[in-house]
Structure formats: structure tokens, C-alpha cells
Amino acid sequence: MKLTVGNPVKGERFWNREKELNGLIQLLDEKAHVLIIAQRRIGKTSLMEQAAETIKDRYLCLQIDLQSAHSVVDAIAELAAATRNSSLWEKITGIFSNVLNNAARQIDSLQLSELKVTLRTGMTEGSWQAKGDQLFDKLAESDKPVVIFLDEVPILVSRLLKGSDYQMTPERRGQTDAFLSWLRANSLKHREKIRLVVTGSIGLEPILRQVGLSATINHLTPFSIGLWEPTVVKSCVEALAEEYSLTFDGDALEYFVDCLGRCVPYHVQLFFQQVRTVCVREGLTHIPKTLVAEVYEREMLARRGHAELSHLEERLKLVLGPELHPIALEFLTEAAVTGKLSAAAIQVFCLEYKQPVVIAREILLILEHDGYMYQQSNTYRFVSKLVQEWWRAQYSLLFVPASARGK
């Protein structure tokens, strides 16, 4: 299996996950709308792409990434543009005839980015709903049933709710409600013909719970994707090593697997890539255990090369805003440094930041939901050994544990 570090994988690069793939397809066949809940880098986008590839003869699959959408109008333009290579395009252009002239309807004459810009200009804050309804009506006329894979929905929802100044206003909440309720109404109306699969790299539920909008997604069936167990990690590393004609010495492979523990597939690929880089540089075809240990310490626990972990901070800030974000960092660092986040420690931090304990609960729900921590009796711990060790390596230097604060 060829290495892929970062981009979604499908086909021969897609390892394992048969159970998840079959489970997701079965839900779609049962006409369910689905909410994929899982942590960062676990392979949500890959699973959606592989599912689309697998069912493309039976369904019209539309893959939409809302990462760069800032408004409802952007989201609808993305959805409309996603139909451009399908038999529905002619009908869809009819909805946007106010901005798409005959030349523009010939898709080849427009770059995709231009097309989206043009589609956006065809809607206003007041007209998106009617255009969006027509869009769903046309999608429902498709010969095959339609699956709309909506990626990065929580990013759009966060932006709708809080704008770029992290201030939630009643207007913004109203707009978010209007968008999600519209999506819900259309997916229920067209249930026979259209299914939605919703996901994103931060949890949608905690965001909506904060603002009392959970009901807008209660038609979605939750579907989770778990961490890879060590046996899967091992088989994946063996396949990668074989591809690049590398062999592990003695118990070096077991050591590699132990370093990661249960983990996200991305970390397996990243670790192997770093080991391989050293092998190529030093002309090695055998991988000694010392090399694995060195690469783990030097590369896997380093700040650079871990954009996705650094990104965790930014995403937490996006969801929590500048006031609550520092408390979340304290929670994570406490758990990383001392091995656990206890109820007593939570109280110390809340007092220090002058926040009620109910706020801590919200933060913990997000950290738990997004797969960073899990609760065991009255304490929280990191889910991933690697993420904990990485976090400790980054943040332990000036950190004072809760038990020593105020002394």
C-alpha cells in the first residue's frame, strides 16, 4: 500500500474499515440520514469518498466540502456546483438562469471557482431558501437516489453562529437555525430519494447544544468511526513496509505499534513516513528498533510536522471563543502532564478563570465528543497516547499543575 499523509485515501490506499464502510452503506440503503461522529484525522473524508466510490453505480453521489463556505448562500452554491457533471445539471442551471447565461451553462467555459462565484451572485440573503428548495426538488428528480456527502459542516455552522468576532448575536443564531431547519425539512421531505451524510473535523452536536439548536439535527442517525486497534496498525505498517521493500528488525515492528497504541490512521502513516525518510537518507533496507525509538522522540513528539495537532488549538478556539479557549488548554495540559484531569483540578481552573463549573462541562463535552479525552469515573484522560505525549512535550514547560496552584 502506498503512503498517503494528509489527503483523503480511497481505492488501494484505503486500509481496513470494511465494517465501517459496509455499515455506512447499509444505513444509506435503509434511507437513513447520517451524522458521522469522530475525531480529527480518523478518516471521515476518506470513508465518505470510499463509500461514494463503492456505491456510485447505484446512487448519484455529491461530495461537498464546506471548509471555505462563510454563508448559507456559499453552501447552496457549493451544492449546486457539485451537480455540474451529472445529468441533473441542465435542470439545475434553470434555477440559476438569472445569472447563468447560455454560454455559462456550457460547463467547460467556466472554471469551477468562477462557477461557484456566479451561482452565489444568483442568490441573496432573502432568496436562498426558495432557490435551495428548488435545488432539492430537482435533485429528487434524479433517476438514481442521491447521496449528499456534506463535509466540514460544523465549520460553516460555527461561522454562521459566531462570525469572525466570535460574538453570537440573535440574528446569527436565527440564521443558523434557518439554515439547519431548511436542510432538515428538505431531507425529510425527500427522504425517498435523497440521503444526507454530514460530518466535519469538529463535533457538530456540542456546538448546537450550546445554543439550543440540537433539534435541527435530530433526524440524523449517529455513526461513529473508532481508532485503529494495534492489530490493524500492525497490518497497515506491514503493507507499507512491503511496498517500499523495508523490513523491521527483531521486535522493531512491535515497538513501532506500541509507540502509537490505539490511534488514528493518520498517525500510522505519518510515523511510517518519517521512519522511511531516515531509511532512504541512510540507505537502510532494515529498520532497527533504535531508529524507530529515535524517530518517535525526535519527530513524532515535535511541534513541526504536526499541523493537525497544532490545528486542534485553532479549532477549539473557533468553537469556544477566546474566553473559554485558554481553560480548555489548561484542562488538556493538566491531563497530559499529570496523567488525568480530576474534578478537583477542574474546580481550581474554573475558580482561577472566574467561570462557573457548568462552562467546564461544556468544554469537557467538546473534548470528549471530539475524541481527545474520555471520562472514567470522576476523571478525564487522553484517548491517544501519542496525542498525550505530544501535548506534554509542547506545553509542560511553564505549566503548574492544579494541585500546586495558589501555593
Ligand X SMILES: Nc1ncnc2c1ncn2[C@@H]1O[C@H](COP(=O)(O)OP(=O)(O)OP(=O)(O)O)[C@@H](O)[C@H]1O
- Asked if 50 is part of the footprint of Mg ion (rule: CB under 5 A), the reply reads no
> CB under 5 to 8 A by kind: which of ligand X, Mg ion, none does 132 bind?
none
- The answer to whether 142 contacts Mg ion (rule: CB under 5 A) is no
- Does 7 participate in binding ligand X (rule CB under 6 A)? yes
Shortest distance in whole angstroms from residue 100 CB to ligand X = 31
Among 93, 129, 176, 201, binds ligand X (CB under 6 A): 201
Q: Give Cα separations from 169 to 59, 154, 156, 162, 172 (angstroms).
A: 40, 18, 16, 7, 5
Q: Shortest approach of ligand X to residue 46 CB, angstroms? A: 3
Asked if 15 touches ligand X (CB under 6 A), the answer is yes
Interface with ligand X, residue 42, by CB under 6 A: yes
User: Which among 1-9, 127-135, 165-173, 341-349 is the span making contact with ligand X, rule CB under 6 A?
Assistant: 1-9
Q: Does 10 bind ligand X (CB under 6 A)?
A: no
Cβ-based nearer residue to Mg ion, 10 or 120: 10
- In the region spanning residues 102 to 161, those forming contacts with ligand X, defined by CB under 6 A, are none
Which string of x and - marks every residue 312-351 that binds ligand X (by CB under 6 A)? Answer: ----------------------------------------
Shortest Cβ distance from residue 221 to Mg ion (Å)? 19
Q: Which is nearer to ligand X, 10 or 33 (CB)?
A: 10
Query: Which stretch in 142-150, 241-249, 265-273, 383-391 sits in contact with ligand X by CB under 6 A?
Result: 265-273
**Nearest distance in Å: CB 241, Mg ion:** 26
In order of 307, 308, 357, 385, the CA distances from 304 in angstroms are 7, 10, 34, 18
**Per rule CB under 5 A, is residue 45 in the interface with Mg ion?**
yes
C-alpha cell at 272: 511510517
Instruction: Indicate which of ligand X, Mg ion, none lies near residue 5 (CB less than 5 to 8 Å, by partner kind).
Output: ligand X
- Under the binding rule (CB under 5 A), the answer on residue 4 touching Mg ion is no
CB of 270 to ligand X, least distance (A): 7
Site residues, Mg ion (CB under 5 A): 44-45
Site residues, ligand X (CB under 6 A): 4-9, 14-17, 40-46, 201, 265-266, 269
